[in-house]
Every structure is written in C-alpha cells, then in structure tokens.
C-alpha cells in the first residue's frame, strides 16, 4: 500500500535543511511513490495535527528549485518548549495523522525528545543529524556544519586585513554551545593565532605570552583570536562586574587589555546568527542529499529507530538510542586536528591541560 510519511525540522535552523527535504520528497516519490507530509514547527505542528503535502517541483518559480540553495527551513522550527509535558496529547495527535513513518531532522536535543516520544508511542522514527555545532555523536558530519565553518572562515579572512592594517588583536566569538568543533575547524582554516575551546582550558597569562611572542619573535603586530562561546566561564569577570553577563569574546578582550596594561588594541566581533544563515555549501548539499535518500531507504527496509550517520566516507545507520546516550560529542584534545593546530604554532591552551 502507498505509504504516508512525515518529515519535520527541529531545533535551531541551519543551511541545508531544505536540501534534505528536497532529497526525501524526490526519492520517496520517484522511487517508492509515497506521499510526504511536512509537519510545521516541529513538535508544535505535531501537537496541532498539522501536515502539509510536499511535492517535487511544487513551486511556481519558472522551474527553479529553491530548496537546493535556500537557507533556513521551509517547515519552520522551534528550539524551546516543554514537549515532554504534553506526551499524551502528542501521542494522540501522531496517531490521528496516521503516518507510516516519521523523519526527524534534528540535533542531539531534538533527537532525545523525538526518540522518547517514539519509544512511548511505538513510532517508526528515522533521524537525520543537523547542527552547526557538529556535536551529534557517531557522525563525522551533520548538515549545516560545513556552511557555518565557511561563513566563519570568510569572516576571519576579512578581519585579518583590517587587523593587520591597524596592528590590532581581533577577537572573534563563535557558536558551538559546549563543543569546540566550529571554533577549531574554522580557526585552523581561517588562519587564527589563538583558538579557545571548551575542551581545553587555557590561562590568560599563556594567551598573553603567546601574543607577546608573536610580536617580539615573529614581528607580527596583529593577531586573530577565535573564541568558542562555551570556552570558559566568565567567573573572574562577573565577580567584578555584578549583573553583567558577558560574552566570552568580551571577556577575553578585557583580559588581554589588563595583562598588556592596555597596550594591545583589541576589537571584538560576535558572529552570532550570521553563522546559521547563508546558502548551503556544496558539502552540506551533498551530505543532505545522501542523508535524505538513505533515510527514505531505511523506512522502505523497515529499519526504524536509526539515525543516518557519515562514517569513513559512507553512510551507515546508527541506533538513535546510542546517539542520544553519547551526545554531545566533544573535540578530542589529543586528536589530529588539535595536534595539527599546535603544529602551526596556534595557541589552544597549555598542553598540560589536555
Ligand atoms: O545549537 C545551535 C546553536 O546555533 C548554538 O551554536 C547556539 O548556542 C544556539 O544554537 C543559539 O540558539 P538560539 O537560536 O536560541 O539563539
């Protein structure tokens, strides 16, 4: 019998979500002749029993397919709310939608919630990882990460020349929640001199010493410092400035000013949600396409409770339960990327802290 499958995007948006939707709709329709329904605003749409029929080439745009290169998600998304407080209503709503299977495109938080609902309601769930943080366990890539890294690298390129022109230390605060993947990847690719991530603790004296060495030994009068938003708690700063919730970037700038007796001229750029925007990179489009296709095939094979994951150049199914248990995935302080960064002379914190 013709299947009816649902798809939703959950958690923070990122580039490439629409590419996943495109891949799912195309493969489900062309290969299996199934009907695909988009559930708007993640679990909120589920609760409200909303389902929008999605079609290939369903947009009146002279044949142009906007889903390939459009950021955000046409389904809308939410990254807050207390879904598990409404479990019974949610299960009843899902039943009413009469779906044969549901594809969730989400990060670790969304996967945990949907997995719990699926367990309780016996849903046929398949997951696709997405997040600019790249902290979903068992997959080398999540949709959205590559575009975000490229966005940060572009910002670092721009900042390098203005930094060099004014002999300034530019501090760039990037997202990533409790993980440093974004900062580490973009910092290496964008030529940073310092990368501060949550997984490796650093000292202000070590950081300042590194900036002094750049200047005195290498005659470099400017520097680029990439700070992950979760790099370090601003304990020192907030103690002296009650009521102030400072960002990591500003904290670092203040500490550099202090240790250099205001001799180092700093500027802070908080890239914020710019990192979540933009058109998806080629790699994100490819990952989205392969993930979308594989998720549909898993439904056809009756393999539920699985997340598609990128491992060793291919796509494999991994139990969502395992993914949820092992996420968020953190940077390995002894890993090849950290070692490569150190081999370039980038300061990440004292080695003894790894
Ligand atoms: O998880 C993705 C992410 O962009 C994090 O890097 C960031 O901390 C958070 O979402 C921001 O969330 P919001 O959209 O609620 O500001």
- What is the pLDDT at residue 237? 47
Ligand 1 neighbourhood includes 177 CB (under 6 angstroms): yes
pLDDT at 196 exceeding the cut of 60: yes
- Choice among 13, 35, 133, 146 that is catalytic: 133
Q: Tell me what the pLDDT averaged over the chain comes to.
A: 93
133 part of the active site: yes
- What is the pLDDT at residue 282? 98
- What is the pLDDT at residue 89? 95
- What is the pLDDT at residue 240? 52
Ligand 1 neighbourhood includes 105 CB (under 6 angstroms): no
CB within 8 Å of 42: residues ≥ 6 apart: 8, 9, 10, 11, 76, 77, 78, 106, 110
Lowest mean pLDDT among 22-26, 65-69, 138-142: 65-69
User: Which atom of ligand 1 lies nearest, measured to the CA of 133?
Assistant: 6
Atom 8, ligand 1: which residue's CA is nearest? 177
**Mean pLDDT (whole number) for 265-279:** 97
Please state, in angstroms and rounded to a whole number, the distance separating the CA atoms of residues 96 and 311: 36
User: Which atom of ligand 1 lies nearest, measured to the CA of 230?
Assistant: 8
Quick one: what percent of the chain has pLDDT higher than 70? 94
pLDDT-derived band at 352, boundaries 50, 70, 90 = low
**Mean pLDDT (whole number) for 141-161:** 98
- What is the pLDDT at residue 244? 45
Binding-site residue ranges for ATP: 12, 80-81, 107-110
pLDDT at 304 exceeding the cut of 90: yes
- What is the pLDDT at residue 72? 97
Ligand 1 neighbourhood includes 133 CB (under 6 angstroms): yes
pLDDT at 3 exceeding the cut of 50: yes
Give distance in angstroms: CA of 327 to centre of ligand 1. Answer: 16
The CA distances from residue 9 to 55, 74, 80, in Å, are 17, 9, 13
pLDDT digits (tens, 9 = 90+) for 28-83: 999 999 999 999 999 999 999 999 999 887 666 777 788 999 999 999 999 988 88
Give distance in angstroms: CA of 204 to centre of ligand 1. Answer: 26
Lowest mean pLDDT among 176-185, 224-233, 307-316: 224-233
- What is the pLDDT at residue 66? 87
Please state, in angstroms and rounded to a whole number, the distance separating the CA atoms of residues 189 and 260: 28
Ligand 1 neighbourhood includes 132 CB (under 6 angstroms): yes
pLDDT digits (tens, 9 = 90+) for 73-122: 999 999 988 888 889 999 999 999 999 999 999 999 999 999 999 999 99
Ligand 1 neighbourhood includes 175 CB (under 6 angstroms): yes
Ligand 1 neighbourhood includes 176 CB (under 6 angstroms): yes
Atom 13, ligand 1: which residue's CA is nearest? 12
Question: What count of other Cβ atoms lies within 10 Å of the Cβ of residue 88?
Answer: 9
Give distance in angstroms: CA of 142 to centre of ligand 1. Answer: 15
């Amino acid at each position: 019998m013709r299947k009816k499958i649902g798809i939703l995007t959950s958690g923070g948006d990122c580039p490439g979500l629409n590419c996943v939707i495109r891949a799912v709709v195309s493969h489900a329709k062309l290969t299996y002749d199934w009907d695909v329904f988009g559930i708007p605003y993640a679990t909120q749409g589920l609760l409200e029993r909303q389902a929008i029929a999605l079609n290939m080439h369903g947009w009146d745009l002279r044949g142009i397919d906007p889903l390939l290169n459009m950021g955000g998600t046409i389904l809308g998304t939410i990254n807050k709310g207390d879904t598990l407080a409404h479990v019974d209503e949610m299960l009843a709503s899902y039943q009413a939608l009469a779906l044969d299977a549901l594809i969730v495109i989400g990060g670790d938080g969304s996967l945990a919630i949907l997995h719990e609902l699926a367990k309780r309601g016996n849903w046929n769930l398949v997951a696709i990882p997405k997040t600019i943080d790249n902290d979903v366990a068992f997959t080398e890539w999540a949709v959205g990460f590559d575009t975000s890294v490229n966005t940060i690298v572009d910002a670092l390129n721009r900042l390098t020349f203005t930094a060099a022109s004014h002999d300034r230390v530019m501090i760039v605060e990037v997202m990533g929640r409790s993980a440093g993947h974004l900062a580490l990847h973009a910092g290496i690719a964008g030529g940073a001199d310092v990368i501060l991530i949550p997984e490796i603790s650093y000292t202000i004296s070590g950081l300042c010493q590194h900036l002094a060495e750049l200047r005195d030994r290498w005659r470099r009068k400017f520097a680029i410092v990439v700070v992950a938003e979760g790099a370090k708690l601003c304990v020192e700063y907030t103690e002296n400035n009650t009521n102030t919730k400072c960002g990591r970037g500003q904290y670092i700038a203040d500490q550099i000013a202090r240790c250099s007796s205001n001799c180092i001229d700093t500027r802070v750029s908080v890239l914020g949600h710019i990192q979540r925007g933009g058109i998806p990179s080629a790699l994100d489009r490819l990952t989205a396409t392969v993930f979308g296709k594989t998720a549909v095939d898993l439904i056809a094979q009756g393999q539920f409770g699985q997340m598609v994951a990128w491992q060793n150049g291919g796509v494999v199914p991994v139990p969502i339960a395992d993914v949820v248990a092992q996420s968020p995935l953190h940077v390995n302080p002894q890993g090849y990327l950290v070692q490569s960064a150190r081999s370039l002379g980038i300061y990440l914190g004292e080695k003894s802290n790894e």
